[in-house]
Amino acid sequence: MASPKNSAPLPPRPQATVMLSRVAHSLYWMSRYIERAENFARLLDVNLQLLLDFQGVTTTAVEEHWDSILLSSGDEKLFEEHYELADSRSVTEFFAFDRRNPNSILSCVDSARENARMIRDQISQEMWETINELYLYLHDRTSDEIWATGAAEFFNNVKRSAHLFQGLVASTYSRNEGWEFLQFGCLLERADKTTRILDVKYHILLPSAADVGGAVDTAQWQAVLRSASALEAYRRFYVREILPWKVAEFLIFSDSFPRSLHFCVAEIDTFLRRILGETGARPRTEAARLSRRLLADLQSLAITDVLEDGLHEFLLEAQKALDRIGEEVVQTTMFYPAESELGEQQQQQIQQ
Structure confidence by residue, pLDDT tens digits, 283-329: 899 999 999 999 999 999 999 999 999 999 999 999 999 999 999 99
The three state secondary structure string of the chain is: CCCCCCCCCCCCCCHHHHHCHHHHHHHHHHHHHHHHHHHHHHHHHHHHHHHHHCCCCCHHHHHHHHHHHHHHHCCHHHHHHHCCCCCHHHHHHHHHCCCCCCCCHHHHHHHHHHHHHHCHHHCCHHHHHHHHHHHHHHHCCCHHHHHHHCHHHHHHHHHHHHHHHHHHHHHHCCCCHHHHHHHHHHHHHHHHHHHHHHHHHHHCCCCCHHHCCCHHHHHHHHHHHHHCCCHHHHHHHHCCCCCHHHHHHHHHHCCCCCCCHHHHHHHHHHHHHHHHCCCCCCCCCHHHHHHHHHHHHHHHCCHHHHHHHCHHHHHHHHHHHHHHHHHHHHHHHCCCCCCHHHHHHHHHHHHC
Q: How far apart are CA 321 and CA 119, in angstroms?
A: 29
Q: For the segment 2-34, what is each residue's pLDDT rounded down to a tens digit?
A: 334 444 444 444 444 443 688 999 999 999 999
pTM over 0.85: yes
Contact call for residues 108 and 33 (beta carbons, < 8 A) = yes
Q: How far apart are CA 96 and CA 92, in angstroms?
A: 6
Q: How far apart are CA 286 and CA 292, in angstroms?
A: 10
* Residue 267 C-alpha from the chain's centroid: 15
Q: Is the pLDDT at 340 greater than 60, yes or no?
A: no
Q: How far apart are CA 113 and CA 33, in angstroms?
A: 9
- Residue 142's contacts (CB-CB under 8 Å, 6 or more residues apart) are 97
Q: For the segment 78-95, what is each residue's pLDDT rounded down to a tens digit?
A: 999 999 999 889 999 999
Q: Is the pLDDT at 266 greater than 70, yes or no?
A: yes
Q: What is the mean pLDDT of the chain?
A: 86
